[in-house]
Chain A
Amino acid sequence: MSTIDDRVQPAAVNIALGPQAGAGASQRAANPLLAFLRRVLLSDYFILYLTLVFFVGASAFFPTLSAPGNISNQFSNMWPLLAVAVGQTFVLIIGGIDLSQGSVMAITSVVGALIFTQVLDAPTFDKSPLWGTLINEQGGILASNPNAVLFGVLAMLGLGALIGLWNGFAITRFRMAPFMVTLVSMIFFSAFALWLTASRNVSGLPEDFTRLGTGDIISVYLGPKLTPEIPRREILPFISYPMVIAVGLAVAAHIILTRTVFGRQMFSIGTNRRTSQVSGVPSGRVVMLVYMFSGFCAAVAAILYSARLGIGLPSLGSNLLLDIIGATVIGGTSLFGGKGSVKGTFFGVAFFVLLLNILNAMRLSPFVIDAVKGVVILLAALLDITRSRLINRGVRA
């Protein structure tokens, strides 16, 4: 696809930013500190550096932050958020936005749970429209099927992708604003999840499913063995199922974004949709597939959140939108499209989880925490603009 403008890709831009990039280079060379700061600010790893600086600085004031148990815990908090943020990254790169991810999580969470739950309480669920036909005291739709979890998980992923596909279809075919389409989806599917369960949580999920959110593949113990039995709280997850699932998804997304024609087409559409269309990019199909992937990622996150909590939650994701978009933007994905990376989103999620950890350690009220999160996202957006200006100056020089 020689028609796609490669300059939109971060890697290509960085080539123009080397010390040899023109007149500014001699000034920067005269001030090594300024040059160093500039290099750090423009680096793909800027958020990683910032995260580490925050971690070290905050650990001095709140020592528990650096305890191995806390670090392990923060990583486990990262995985579901990473899964859903990867989908949002794709959508933002093409210049869209997906507000429906939270409601996709809610509806897929309850649909999956209603398929494989082992028991349902009559007084709690008899107001559900499915009661007596698809669900009853003996459990969900496929409660007695040995492959219920497999079918349930596939249904969750399929439903998530389908809702995403609908969003993409409405945006491309009806030329509706992504904001409006996904806002309507958000409202509709949130309400649908509440209606389907009569606003009740679905419990009684089988262990085969809950293991996806809590199971460890490799656990570690750090420290001397002073007693015959190691206290359970000292045994930390090292490699867990949520980690494998989320990282696997992120790696696949990274490969799609950086190594395929489809990835290049996404950047092209995000930079200038009209130009990309003229250049032969099938923008409608790409947009639909991207929203479909976003819905799929939200369903993966729903699996991880529901499994670790052990319930299908009709309100799942209702408070997560700020975290999802926040982590993605902090990771360097532009709200204007055409820029972003899965690697950056990974760092953004790490930063966001650490930020929450620090704010909790400061014992701030949740309202203050939300306000601080908002300010940080604003700063991230401003930083993105500043970096873009610096990059443009470098390119012009």
Chain B
Amino acid sequence: MNKIRIVGLLLALALLAGVVSVASAQSDITICFGFQDLETEFWVAGHKAITETLREMGITVLEYNANEDPNRQLEQVRECIAQGVDGIIIIPQDGDSAVTIIREAQAADIPIAVFNRPPNDRSRGITVVADNVSATEQAVEHIAQMALRQWEITQQPITPLIVVGALQDTNAIGRREGFFNVINRYNERYPGMFKDPIEVASEWDAATALANLEAAITANPDVDFLYTSSDFLFPTIRSVLEPRGKWVPRGTPGHVLMAGLDGDATACMLIEQGYVDATGVQNLFFEAELTMNRLLQAIEEGDTQPNDVLLDPGFALTSANFPWMAEEMWGCVLYFEGWLDQ
């Protein structure tokens, strides 16, 4: 009997707490923001832009970090739904799990937006994404032009290398596609200019990239053209190239033509110093603004299942346009503010 009394008492208290919860519910807009580990400058800056802007607008933001576990993110989104949030913004772990999470939110009539890492099926939810193919093509085009001048003089074929991201992420697929578009275009116009590209898997992980790049450069010491699918890997690339005497600025013999994508503060600094030649820029602040505005519009209009793809065309910051374009890149804004000195 004692057990029954104890359980009964506790359940009564739980019911009381439930009543209190209903009475104290808030009436303003609440947005759930689910993200993965903020390992790179891009995600840190994106997280900051979204949370600070929403809070400045008086919106309550519930933050959830899934720690790179898609199952955990699904549970967190369900938790947000159970809490009755008005809208959800996610940075998913991959394009596959994003599809499931969007379906879950829409089934509960909650508008959802996916920031920067798009779902494999873009027909549902608000998807804000950089045009990875275009931004990559612009950056790689710049170093391909430099390589062409070099090839015309030496007639030595260029050895290109691409550090690819995790290919379950459509961003990584787009960046790889942009890189190969440029290489193939140049090889059609100038047969024999590029050797077959070497592909190095990073899985968006610095340790994996380091191991694979070490192996690739050891096997192919003549690599002189390198594109990384994300700027956050430049320190890793440096640690591989520097001991081999290949980490030298433009104009120095042995300089590897290098481009990346993201437009972070490190890339800005390296372009300024001459080690890197170009980077494709995702217009982070623009993308964050697009995400928030479209989601808030849907909430205001009572549209519970907004489906929209919003593209950030991106641009390339190169060694040539650096003096007048640097201020346009989010990473340079952070760099000039002393981000890397912190």
Interface residues of A (CB under 8 A from B): 39-40, 43, 45, 48-49, 52-53, 55-56, 59-60, 63-67, 69-70, 72-73, 76-77, 123-124, 199-201, 203, 231-233, 305, 308-311, 313, 316, 318-319, 357, 360, 363, 365-366
Main secondary structure of the interface of B (DSSP, over half): helix
Partner of A309, one of B6, B97, B108, B110: B97
Q: Which of A124, A203, A316 has the most chain B CB atoms closer than 10 A to its own CB?
A: A203
Residues of A within 8 A of B182 (CB): none
Residues of A within 8 A of B24 (CB): 63
Nearest Cβ on chain B to A78's Cβ, whole angstroms:
11
Residues of B within 8 A of A64 (CB): 21, 82-84
Interface presence of B81 (CB below 8 A): yes
Nearest Cβ on chain A to B314's Cβ, whole angstroms:
22
Nearest Cβ on chain A to B80's Cβ, whole angstroms:
10
Q: A66-B18, A319-B72 are in contact. List 4 more A-B contacts (CB 8 A).
A: A53-B10, A69-B82, A311-B97, A360-B64
Q: Are A45 and B3 in contact (CB under 8 A)?
A: yes
One of B137-145, B166-174, B316-324 at the interface: B166-174
Q: Are A124 and B167 in contact (CB under 8 A)?
A: yes
Q: Are A67 and B18 in contact (CB under 8 A)?
A: yes
Nearest Cβ on chain B to A381's Cβ, whole angstroms:
24
Residues of A within 8 A of B3 (CB): 43, 45
Q: Are A366 and B67 in contact (CB under 8 A)?
A: yes
Residues of A within 8 A of B82 (CB): 64, 67, 69-70, 72-73
Residues of A within 8 A of B81 (CB): 69, 73, 233
Interface presence of B69 (CB below 8 A): yes
Q: Are A231 and B109 in contact (CB under 8 A)?
A: yes
A308: nearest residue on chain B (CB-CB)? B74
A52: nearest residue on chain B (CB-CB)? B10
Partner of B168, one of A43, A200, A357, A365: A200
Residues of A within 8 A of B108 (CB): 232-233
- Contact-residue size bin, chain B (C-beta under 8 Å from the other chain): 35 or more
Residues of B within 8 A of A52 (CB): 7, 10-11, 14
Given contacts A63-B25, A231-B109, A360-B64, contact A309 B74 (CB under 8 A): yes
Residues of A within 8 A of B22 (CB): 63
Q: Are A309 and B69 in contact (CB under 8 A)?
A: no
Given contacts A56-B14, A63-B24, contact A319 B67 (CB under 8 A): yes
Residues of A within 8 A of B166 (CB): 199
Interface positions, chain B 1-28, Cβ under 8 Å from A, are 2-3, 6-7, 10-11, 13-14, 17-18, 20-22, 24-25
Q: Are B21 and A309 in contact (CB under 8 A)?
A: no
A65-B82 Cα distance, complex, nearest whole Å:
9
Residues of B within 8 A of A49 (CB): 6-7, 10
- Return 24 A-B CB contacts under 8 Å, by A number: A49-B10, A52-B10, A56-B17, A63-B18, A63-B22, A64-B82, A65-B21, A66-B14, A66-B17, A69-B84, A70-B83, A124-B167, A124-B168, A124-B173, A201-B94, A201-B168, A232-B108, A233-B81, A305-B71, A309-B70, A311-B96, A311-B100, A363-B62, A363-B63
Q: Which of A45, A64, A124 has the most chain B CB atoms closer than 10 A to its own CB?
A: A64
A60-B70 Cα distance, complex, nearest whole Å:
30
Q: Are A313 and B70 in contact (CB under 8 A)?
A: yes
Q: Are A310 and B18 in contact (CB under 8 A)?
A: no
A312: nearest residue on chain B (CB-CB)? B96
A76-B168 Cα distance, complex, nearest whole Å:
27
Q: Are B109 and A232 in contact (CB under 8 A)?
A: yes
Interface presence of B303 (CB below 8 A): no
Residues of A within 8 A of B99 (CB): 203, 310
Q: Are A309 and B17 in contact (CB under 8 A)?
A: no
Q: Are A60 and B97 in contact (CB under 8 A)?
A: no
Interface presence of B250 (CB below 8 A): no
Interface presence of B76 (CB below 8 A): yes
A317: nearest residue on chain B (CB-CB)? B71
Q: Are B100 and A309 in contact (CB under 8 A)?
A: yes
Binary per-residue interface labels of chain B (41-73) against chain A in the complex, 1 for a CB within 8 Å, 0 otherwise = 000000000000000000000111111011110
Q: Are A123 and B14 in contact (CB under 8 A)?
A: no
A124-B170 Cα distance, complex, nearest whole Å:
10
Q: Which 10 A-B pairs have the closest CB atoms?
A: A63-B21, A59-B17, A69-B82, A233-B108, A52-B10, A66-B18, A70-B82, A366-B67, A56-B13, A201-B96
Residues of B within 8 A of A124 (CB): 167-168, 173
Interface presence of B79 (CB below 8 A): yes
Residues of A within 8 A of B201 (CB): 199
B104: nearest residue on chain A (CB-CB)? A214
Interface positions, chain B 79-98, Cβ under 8 Å from A, are 79, 81-84, 94, 96-97
Q: Are B18 and A309 in contact (CB under 8 A)?
A: no
A72-B3 Cα distance, complex, nearest whole Å:
24
Interface presence of B75 (CB below 8 A): yes
Q: Are B167 and A59 in contact (CB under 8 A)?
A: no
A340-B79 Cα distance, complex, nearest whole Å:
31
B76: nearest residue on chain A (CB-CB)? A360
Binary per-residue interface labels of chain B (91-134) against chain A in the complex, 1 for a CB within 8 Å, 0 otherwise = 00010110110000001111000000000100000000000000
Partner of B173, one of A43, A60, A65, A123: A123
A272-B13 Cα distance, complex, nearest whole Å:
44
Nearest Cβ on chain B to A261's Cβ, whole angstroms:
30
Interface presence of B203 (CB below 8 A): yes
Nearest Cβ on chain B to A124's Cβ, whole angstroms:
6
Binary per-residue interface labels of chain B (218-249) against chain A in the complex, 1 for a CB within 8 Å, 0 otherwise = 00000000000000000000000000000000
